[in-house]
Structure 1
Amino acid sequence: MKPYPLKFQAEFKERVWGGRALEQFGFELPDGHIGEAWVIGDHAHGTTKVVNGDLAGKGLDEVREAFGSEWFGPKGSQTKNGKFPLLIKLLDCQDDLSVQVHPDDHYEKLAEGELGKTEMWYILDAKPGAKIIYGLKEHVDRAAFAQAIEEGRIMDCLQEVEAKTGDTFYIPAGTVHALKAGVLVAEIQQNSDTTYRVYDYDRPGLDGKPRELHIEDSLHVTKYGDSGASRKTTDIDAPHHWLNLAESPYFITDKAIVDGRWEQSTTQDSFVILIVCEGEGQIHGGGESLPLKRGEALLLPANLGAYVLEGKMTVLRSYLP
């Protein structure tokens, strides 16, 4: 089959901190406080299905099994858990998320088939004064962190930073973090749904009961000192130039402004994921043309080759290193 750009039906997740802001992207949300749209994913907790072209109705897992390294590149087809290596989300944070930390791939208590979780956030929109929790304060070691948790003063150990539209935050596994109310986020991450909560503001979950905390796991996987986290303000002066936002062992993400017609190409090494952050336009490739608008994500097969972006839009491009 000739490769072409793949668009997927999002999987929606209700969260105690979610809302209805994802409707602005044209999603038909189910009832409830919807915090996450999994727009490209192949996980036991949600697998997205193709909505366009000859593969419409097929899950990402089925596509990958059928076309392997030819469509996904050698690294995208031979992964530790036999699944697609990345998970792409849009997050609507109407309330503060729990203070949390993620393990790396080597944590011995990971569930079978689960990966660690290194991730990055791109702030699609932020209300004035919005903040995030981003790492521990300097000189906070395990003993000090454990004592603060026990004494109910964990916030004394955490760094809060302002989040503005266009900011990027790279969050390696082991970085204590939390999105706070008032931000809309695109998240690129390892294909994992493992989160260890350190603190959850003593609030009830969707079932009215306190949500589980994971103190021992959190203390064990937290990286004290420099975790490798980094942030960037991502203003771009001119179109048709890729600005690197994050580079990790698991993904590389760049940002660019499209203004008019821009010819691009995939390589045989890796698939490409495109996320539209602002504006609208089209993509032409593999004999197909698709309209693009804010909030949409596409998976471009590694063997797609030449494609064209056209219009006025800001896009993120992610691929495997």
Structure 2
Amino acid sequence: MPAAAAGQSEAAAPQVIALPANQPHQFYRGGRHIAELRGSSDDREFGPEDWVASTTARFGHSESGLTRLPDGRLLRDAVAADAEAWLGHEHIAAFGDDTALLVKLLDAGQRLPVHCHPTDGFARQHLGSRFGKTEAWIVVGTSGPQPVVYLGFRSDVAPETVEHWVRTQDSSAMLGSLNEIPVRPGDTVHVPAGTPHAIGAGVFVVELQQPTDFSITLEWEGFLADAESAFLGLEHRAALRTVNRAGFGTEALSGLIKHTAQHGGPRVPLLVEQASEFFLAERLHPRGALELAPSFGVLIVLEGSGTLRAENGDLELQRGHTAVLPHSAGAVRLEGELVAVHCRPPVFSSE
């Protein structure tokens, strides 16, 4: 992993910084594809998530999940200490000193349980957070004979039916009620808060989320220790009000899924339009050089090598590297023969 750009100190303006893996222990298996991408020998069995440039802690934890910078500081604390430099004025006007973004590499070594996430409104009312957890998946790798994800009920489901499935832990009924969607690298899926979903074994994604760790785990048996840990400490019926029980037909699904594998321009927008309210993502193919506008952002290099040139320092990149870009780095120039995913928080105009 390359070192941070020269001269990084607490007093200096933040620079583009390379980040090590950050894989807090999870309840499900995975991590092999993260190790392969990063060129690491780390073979941990329960490290399926690499939280990249994270200022979000795992639910119920004080620091687990937070990114620690090469100088020893938590990124969360560095951003809070110099929010203007890290985030820019317009971002602060909209979100304060919160990055408004959580990015992960997620390697599903087994199928994830059926679960969903609260909306902003539910999170404000019940969890004391301005953010719920809408998310999106960018498929960057698959393995196995039939890589799939599961998204939304196929038809409307009554509240008492959902309650029965959860109470009896009827995994077959829950999974069987969802749309099963085959995926391949280049596919992207937008997952609005409240939508029941799961990721199948062998699916490797870059995941963008609102910056929380809120999950309502409908299918907890065989995954979590007990039902109490499945509902964020909420009363069960209250928690289940987060579930969108409406059926997702072909038209609804088509508005959430995008196929980008055949798009090879310098910048490929990866997510459907409605995702832009929550986060932005592009696949970058510089083929020489490409300029990125000033913004807080996360860069994940999928192929090749190159250089990230910023006003206050350069960073050498190669496959598997991840980096955080502060707003103060200015108009960053990405050079080289590489493929990278660039993730950003939503952009709000000052006009």
In 2, Cα distance between equivalents of 1:146 and 1:210: 16
Partner of 2:113: 98
Q: How has the CA–CA distance of structure 1 residues 225 and 19 changed in structure 2, closer, same or farther, with 3 Å as cutoff?
A: closer
Matches within 5 A, 1:283-294: 283-294=308-319
Structure 2 unpaired stretches of 5+: 1-11, 59-64
In 2, Cα distance between equivalents of 1:5 and 1:76: 18
Q: How has the CA–CA distance of structure 1 residues 266 and 106 changed in structure 2, closer, same or farther, with 3 Å as cutoff?
A: same
1:282 aligns with 2:307: yes
Partner of 1:39: 52
Partner of 1:119: 135
Q: How has the CA–CA distance of structure 1 residues 75 and 191 changed in structure 2, closer, same or farther, with 3 Å as cutoff?
A: farther
Give 1 or 2: higher helix fraction.
2
Partner of 2:3: none
SS of the aligned residue for 1:49 comes to coil
With the length of structure 2 as denominator, give the TM-score of the two structures.
Answer: 0.78
1:9 counterpart (11, 15, 20): 20
Q: How has the CA–CA distance of structure 1 residues 297 and 110 changed in structure 2, closer, same or farther, with 3 Å as cutoff?
A: farther
**Deviation at residue 271 of structure 1 after TM alignment:** 1.5
**Deviation at residue 81 of structure 1 after TM alignment:** 8.2
The alignment covers a number of residue pairs equal to: 310
**Deviation at residue 204 of structure 1 after TM alignment:** 5.3
Cα-to-partner distance string for 1:196-222 (whole Å, 9 max, x where unaligned) = 10014x3254xxx45644353453011
Identity %, equivalent residues: 25
**Deviation at residue 141 of structure 1 after TM alignment:** 4.0
Matches within 5 A, 1:205-244: 205=224, 209-210=225-226, 212-214=229-231, 215-225=236-246, 230-244=256-270
Q: How has the CA–CA distance of structure 1 residues 217 and 102 changed in structure 2, closer, same or farther, with 3 Å as cutoff?
A: farther
Q: How has the CA–CA distance of structure 1 residues 11 and 172 changed in structure 2, closer, same or farther, with 3 Å as cutoff?
A: same
Partner of 1:263: 290
Cα-to-partner distance string for 1:164-217 (whole Å, 9 max, x where unaligned) = 1121111111111111111111111111111110014x3254xxx456443534
SS of the aligned residue for 1:43 comes to coil
**Deviation at residue 31 of structure 1 after TM alignment:** 4.5
Give 1 or 2: higher strand fraction.
1
In 1, Cα distance between equivalents of 2:176 and 2:45: 33
Q: How has the CA–CA distance of structure 1 residues 302 and 31 changed in structure 2, closer, same or farther, with 3 Å as cutoff?
A: same
1:88 aligns with 2:106: no
Q: Conserved in 2, the CA contact under 8 Å of 1:118 and 1:172? A: yes
Partner of 1:69: 84
1:250 aligns with 2:288: no
SS of the aligned residue for 2:157 comes to coil
**Deviation at residue 43 of structure 1 after TM alignment:** 2.2
SS of the aligned residue for 2:156 comes to coil
Amino acid at match of 1:283: L
Q: How has the CA–CA distance of structure 1 residues 30 and 78 changed in structure 2, closer, same or farther, with 3 Å as cutoff?
A: farther
1:145 aligns with 2:166: no
After TM superposition, the structure 1 stretch with the greater mean CA deviation from structure 2, 165-174 or 82-91, is 82-91
Cα RMSD, aligned residues only: 2.7
Q: Conserved in 2, the CA contact under 8 Å of 1:99 and 1:198? A: yes
Structure 1 unpaired stretches of 5+: none
In 1, Cα distance between equivalents of 2:331 and 2:95: 30
1:179 aligns with 2:199: yes
In 2, Cα distance between equivalents of 1:143 and 1:242: 43
Partner of 1:188: 208
With the length of structure 1 as denominator, give the TM-score of the two structures.
Answer: 0.85
**Deviation at residue 38 of structure 1 after TM alignment:** 1.0
Q: Conserved in 2, the CA contact under 8 Å of 1:148 and 1:156? A: no
In 2, Cα distance between equivalents of 1:59 and 1:26: 24
